[in-house]
Structure 1
């Protein structure tokens, strides 16, 4: 049976089973948990692309460029506070064959328009930041609690992830961001079905 046709609870278990095949990702998760960042998730490409790799028979970590580690701390919106977390993370993730990009999602509205050309309303949580990704398929976050339990946030479910369907999410990111990302992904995973921007 295709993983995308499993009941939701079984899809979450299937996701965990797939992700644990990527030793780099599980090492990043374990080290991220040690940072104890508020509301953190490992999210986007490293999660979804691990699934795409496993589903298409590739090595689980193949071609994954970076690991996005989001957290939410609205108590200090200064760049200096975020940079301190980034520097601590750099030490924590040293020696891993991965680039870990750490971002405080409480600060995104301060720089998003300058980078992407459209304003971003302030996020109120890490989850609301994940909700705004250019593709609904990538709206997935995972984290591991100190007791080892996994938390999965997937507001659009996991069927598209398992079925290699990339669906646009025109709530924030502009069309050119979606099309640039999907063009790059298609070259690496030719079996993706990329749905057009509405």
Structure 2
């Protein structure tokens, strides 16, 4: 629990992230989290002594709604969140993780089985350190999903998670991160 208290304290320093959390909670998406980049980069900024939101251009809001897998349903959510967050200086990227299997193979060249939940999607993110999601409960409590713990995240270790993402996706992401956080220790693809 101490690791999650530490994570909450660090993420609380990013006022944009906190504001997106509140707005996302109010939208009421099923199984939603802010995940991956905005969480990871806030922690790395803190560890590097930078401003919490420095260089974070987008905030990933993921959810799982299998009731309507059509593009129009997801697009309505994307537009609603964009309107709700239009005054923020960042883009909030919205993705219905229940739909990923419909387009993943065309984009990345390998099939993706349908995810049963947002947590299952987070578990398959390409780097262990980025398999982290945070959301606010209705009572305002912070809730986390981090299937691999937070050790790599706070140690600034980028370790491959070859559950789904191809090697190229991992290596491209790791190379991009190294340009901003040169202290990262990137482990090779197995």
Q: Aligned residue for 2:25?
A: 33
2:46 match: secondary structure: helix
Residue aligning to 2:40: 48
- The answer for the alignment partner of 1:62 in structure 2 is 54
**Equivalent residue in structure 2 for 1:151, among 143, 150, 161:** 143
Give yes or no for the alignment of 1:109 onto 2:101: yes
Residue in structure 2 matching 1:189, options 181, 184, 188? 181
Number of the residue aligned with 1:73 = 65
How far does the alpha carbon of each residue in 1:108-152 deviate from its partner, in whole angstroms, 9 at most, with x for none?
000011111111010000000001111011000000012110110
Structure 1 alignment gaps of length 5 or more = 1-8
Three-state SS of the structure 1 residue aligned to 2:144 is strand
Aligned to 2:125: 133
Q: How many residues align?
A: 190
- Match of 1:151, SS state, is strand
- SS of 1:24's equivalent in the other structure is helix
Pair 1:92 & 2:84 matched: yes
- Structure 1 runs of 4+ aligned residues shifted over 3 Å read none
Query: Pairwise CA RMSD of aligned residues?
Result: 0.6
Is 1:160 equivalent to 2:180 in the alignment? no
Give, in whole Å, the separation in 2 of the partners of 1:155 and 1:67. 20
* Unaligned runs of at least 5 residues, structure 2: none
* Residue 6 (structure 1) aligns with: none
Deviations 1:43-79 (A, max 9, x none): 0000011000001101100111211100001111010
Provide the TM-score with structure 2 as the length reference. 0.99
Normalising to structure 1: TM-score of the pair?
0.95
